[in-house]
Amino acid sequence: MRLIAANWKMNKTVAETEDYLTKFLKILGTPEDREVLICPPFTALYVAGRILKDTPIKIGAQNCHYEEKGAFTGEISIPMIKEVGCSYVIVGHSERRHIFGESDEVINRKLVACLERGVRPILCVGERIEDREAGMTFKVVETQIRLALSGIEGLTDLLDVAYEPVWAIGTGVPAKPEDAVTVHRFIKDLLKEINPKSEGRTRVLYGGSVNPENAPEFMKHKEVDGLLVGGASLDPEAFAKIVNSF
Ligand code: PEP
């Protein structure tokens, strides 16, 4: 099933989350032919989990730590996010990589921990503008994926990948759908090479300035298994339109 995911980033209080989800459920109904995922900030996960409990809409965290518990001030573990209802977690978002200096090694440890503890990670990859201008898009994406999957090559069916060119995130300038499709094809071929026994369950999502107007342009391509939406997911009407864009 195709997956449409909302990444709220550091937006929305508990009260705002309640308000959003009440509206969103009314507008959206309960779609059964597509998977809908909302990733609120940690503080709103509990209330989101309660509101969405008996609906098909899933919740996910935007980050996690790879250890189960201990002296890691300010961090949140996988058992903690699972307890409040998360079945997904975004790992290696470009803001984590480039603002908080998250390395490929840390991202790999997080993926390993997610798979061990039974939460489905969405691994984010994507090139910066200077990589693209230097013709390095494929090399950067390949390196990020190979390092992220180190030691868990046989488990690719248990995760999804989001291709998010860094220059397209939050800029209002999305990738051209044909360019994104080329990278999606590359990622799918690479995943097949990395895990020849895979059952092809890894979805490759596109992310980067998706809105209700351009979403159908991405979703009409069979290589695009879904979307990861930041800014436009903050408005329940806009996000519902994106969910219904195919
Ligand atoms: C994101 O945060 O993953 C994202 C794609 O953001 P935006 O849709 O705002 O570009």
For 2-112, strand residue ranges (E) read 3-7, 35-39, 58-61, 86-91
Question: According to the model, what pLDDT value does residue 142 have?
Answer: 98
The fraction of the chain above a pLDDT of 90, given in percent, is 98
Residue type present at position 34: R
Strand, helix or coil at 190? helix
**Residue 199 bears catalytic tag:** no
pLDDT, tens digit (0-9, with 9 covering 90-100), for 97-144: 999 999 999 999 999 999 999 999 999 999 999 999 999 999 999 999
pLDDT, tens digit (0-9, with 9 covering 90-100), for 146-178: 999 999 999 999 999 999 999 999 999 999 999
Residue 214 CA to ligand 1 center (angstroms) comes to 13
Rounded average pLDDT over 215-226: 98
pLDDT at 30 over 80: no
φ, ψ of residue 52 to 5 degrees: the values are: -95, 5
**Which amino acid residue places its CA nearest to atom 2 of ligand 1?**
230
Question: According to the model, what pLDDT value does residue 132 have?
Answer: 97
CATH architecture group of domain 2-243:
Alpha-Beta Barrel (3.20)
The verdict on the CB of residue 175 being under 6 Å from ligand 1 is no
Domain residue limits, the chain: 2-243
**Which amino acid residue places its CA nearest to atom 6 of ligand 1?**
230
Beta strands at 3-7 and 226-229: parallel, antiparallel or unpaired: parallel
Among 122, 166, 210, residue to substitute to test ligand 1 (most atoms within 8 Å of Cβ): 210
Distance separating alpha carbons of residues 209 and 169, to the nearest angstrom: 6
The verdict on the CB of residue 62 being under 6 Å from ligand 1 is no
Q: How far apart are the first and last CA of the chain?
A: 12
pLDDT tier for residue 31 given thresholds of 50, 70 and 90: confident
pLDDT at 225 over 90: yes
**Which amino acid residue places its CA nearest to atom 7 of ligand 1?**
230
Rounded average pLDDT over 207-227: 98
pLDDT, tens digit (0-9, with 9 covering 90-100), for 62-73: 999 999 999 999
Distance separating alpha carbons of residues 208 and 197, to the nearest angstrom: 31
Distance separating alpha carbons of residues 238 and 240, to the nearest angstrom: 5
Residue 91 CA to ligand 1 center (angstroms) comes to 14
Question: According to the model, what pLDDT value does residue 41 have?
Answer: 98
pLDDT at 32 over 90: no
Distance separating alpha carbons of residues 120 and 87, to the nearest angstrom: 6
Strand, helix or coil at 53? coil
Rounded average pLDDT over 173-189: 98
Exposed (0-12), middle (13-18) or buried (19+): which is 29, by Cβ within 10 Å? exposed
φ, ψ of residue 116 to 5 degrees: the values are: -65, -35
Distance separating alpha carbons of residues 39 and 37, to the nearest angstrom: 7
CA-based nearest residue to 12, from 35, 42, 33: 42
**Residue 65 bears catalytic tag:** no
Count CB atoms within 10 A of the CB of residue 177. Answer: 19
DSSP, residue by residue, 101-113: ---HHHHHHHHHH
pLDDT at 29 over 80: no
